[in-house]
Structure formats: structure tokens, C-alpha cells
Amino acid sequence: MMILSRAAATCGSISLLVLVAALASCNPERTQANDVARDNAERQALIDAMKHHPALNGDQNATGKPIDVPTTVPPKAPESSGHHDHHDQPAPKPQS
């Protein structure tokens, strides 16, 4: 009986997933709000996972070496005019 009820629950979950997927496929035009919500959820899940990283919870065995990241901006090379970045070519066309 318990197995049956568990199976029914599983089937119910699967059905719900299938239903959601089917409904989603019925509406191929993704709304911007949905995209934003999905992006936010994905990023938040990553941030939460990072917060569970043992190194961020004080485990020294999971912590790598400190790294040296220069945070200053070096002077621009004197021979550089500052105006030919990716582009010794003609000025870019305006966007259409």
C-alpha cells in the first residue's frame, strides 16, 4: 500500500513536471520576466552553493593558497595614443 502511494506520489510529481513542461512548450514566447526570474534563481542557487563551500566555512583543507591580485591600474603605454583599441581600422559604424 505504501509502495503504491509512493508510486502514485512519484507519478504525480512526474505528471506535474510533464504538465509544466507541456504548458511551457505551448507558450514558446518566453517573457522577459520569466527569463529574469530564471536567471535570478540560477545565480542565487550558485551563490548559495558557494556559501556552502568548505573553504568559506573555515575548512583550511579546502582553502587554496592566497593569491596576489594587483588592484592598481598600470599607466598606459606612452607610445599608445589611447584611440586605437581593437581598431586601427576606420571608425565603427553606428548601430542599426
CB of 58 to another protein, least distance (A): 11
Q: Which of 1, 25, 29, 74 binds another protein (CB under 8 A)?
A: 74
Grid cell 595614443 in the structure block, residue: 81
Q: CB count, 10 Å around CB of 75? A: 6
Q: Which of 5, 29, 52, 58 binds another protein (CB under 8 A)?
A: 52
Tell me how far apart the alpha carbons of residues 38 and 18 are, in angstroms, rounded to a whole number.
18
Positions touching another protein (CB under 8 A) are 3, 7, 32-33, 35-37, 39-40, 42-43, 45-47, 49-50, 52-56, 59, 61-80, 83-87, 89, 91-96
